[in-house]
Copies of this chain bind each other. A is one copy, B any other.
Amino acid sequence: MSKASPRATITDVARAAGVAISSASAALNDRPGVSTETRVRVRAVADQLGYVPALAGRSLASKRAFSVGFVVERDYDIIQSDPFFGGFIGGIEESLTPRGYALALQISQDEAGSEARLVELIESRRVDGLFLDEIRINDSRLAALSARNAPVVAANAPRGEFPFPSVRQDGTAAIRSLVEELVKLGHRRIAHVTGPDAYEHSIERRDAWASAMLSHGLEPDVVIPGDFTYEGGEHAADLLVEDDRGATAVFCANDLSAIGVMNRLHRRGVRVPEDISIVGYDDISLGRYVRPTLSTVQTSPRLLGTVAAEMLLAAIEGAKVQDIEVAPAAFVRRESISTRPADVKH
């Protein structure tokens, strides 16, 4: 191939096929009103010319961007170790590509920035719709986007009042069975290392833990603040060791902090699981690479992404989209839990 031959346009195709532009368009897009013969001829000419429709033209005429946006709100350096991110995006892509849609991915460090990026994406009509995850209590993105009538699909939005359709994966059942498992192993004091209070899913996990504890007649009182990071887990471990309520098991709001807890306990001479049992949440691959391997709640970010993308495309096409609940997360027992140490009294 020689120098930058300007790409063939639909006009070229029409001319070469000896038909009107409108017929060429109809033929290429499987619209009715074209004879089979014409359709075939146009197609042949089109791919002989290597014709690929230009997005900008389609976009301008059809008033659709053929892309959807996702803004990841993370510290640049933390994205690496993010559990949800990769899987969710992979899932999104999986539904998007066959439909000719692309994903515009943006990254933002903070809440204000991420809202600004979302608004910018939608207002510049760079995207036809948006994904939202990690919903905050009083999340300001919600009002900003509903005011603009943006098609939006959320992942794991809180139940109840919520302005957009959401795909959800229930984790409460898994949390209940994890508590039950620990109780069976003799544990009575099961602590919880939380996520940041600002997030709906932090609260949800905490509530699920608390209610499971209560249903076993146990007091959900050992609550250690965490922040979903490894370092937050390390700090939580320190607090736990200094705590005098003698927790023998800990349920952490995510795997990364659970691993922080685990490693810190180890460094301080506390044995896992002999002295303290640990359970995380997410099932990041890392959990299988640490020693002891981490018991956790297995979630399905990729599936959530696939479903979310399907929902969003439907919403963009004007359909009334219902919430979808995927199969609930499941408790996965690995090495990090065992029976309550014999010498602990209650």
- Say whether A97 faces chain B, with CB atoms less than 8 Å apart: yes
Q: A48-103: which have CB < 8 Å to B?
A: 50, 52-57, 59-60, 65, 67, 74, 76-77, 79-83, 85-87, 89-91, 93-94, 97, 102-103
Q: Are B90 and A86 in contact (CB under 8 A)?
A: no
Complex alpha-carbon distance, A120 and B54, angstroms? 10
Q: Are A60 and B52 in contact (CB under 8 A)?
A: no
Complex alpha-carbon distance, A313 and B91, angstroms? 29
Across the interface, A85 reaches (CB within 8 A) one of B86, B102, B260, B289, namely B86
- Say whether A176 faces chain B, with CB atoms less than 8 Å apart: no
A83 CB contacts on chain B under 8 angstroms: 80
Complex alpha-carbon distance, A275 and B56, angstroms? 61
- How far does the Cβ of A297 sit from chain B's closest Cβ, in whole Å? 16
Q: Are A90 and B76 in contact (CB under 8 A)?
A: yes
Task: Count A-side interface residues using an 8 Å CB cutoff.
Answer: 61
Q: Are B123 and A52 in contact (CB under 8 A)?
A: yes
Across the interface, A302 reaches (CB within 8 A) one of B77, B106, B148, B259, namely B77
Across the interface, A93 reaches (CB within 8 A) one of B54, B82, B106, B291, namely B106
Q: Provided the pairs A55-B124, A289-B286 are in contact, do residues A90 and B107 lie with their beta carbons within 8 angstroms?
A: yes
Q: Are B107 and A105 in contact (CB under 8 A)?
A: no
Q: Are A54 and B285 in contact (CB under 8 A)?
A: no
Across the interface, A106 reaches (CB within 8 A) one of B1, B102, B124, namely B102
Complex alpha-carbon distance, A105 and B147, angstroms? 28
- How far does the Cβ of A291 sit from chain B's closest Cβ, in whole Å? 7
Interface centre among A3, A85, A121 (most CB of B within 10 A): A85
* Given A52-B124, A79-B87, A102-B126, 18 other A-B residues pairs in contact with their CB atoms under 8 A: A1-B148, A4-B149, A50-B123, A55-B59, A55-B126, A56-B65, A74-B90, A76-B87, A77-B87, A77-B90, A79-B86, A80-B285, A82-B86, A90-B107, A102-B104, A103-B105, A104-B104, A286-B289
Enumerate 14 A-B pairs (CB-CB under 8 Å) in ascending A order. Answer: A54-B124, A55-B65, A55-B124, A55-B126, A56-B60, A79-B89, A80-B284, A81-B284, A89-B107, A93-B107, A97-B117, A103-B104, A103-B106, A290-B291
Point out residues on A near B: beta carbons under 8 Å.
1, 3-4, 7, 50, 52-57, 59-60, 65, 67, 74, 76-77, 79-83, 85-87, 89-91, 93-94, 97, 102-107, 117, 120-121, 123-126, 147-149, 230, 259-260, 263, 266, 284-286, 289-291, 301-302
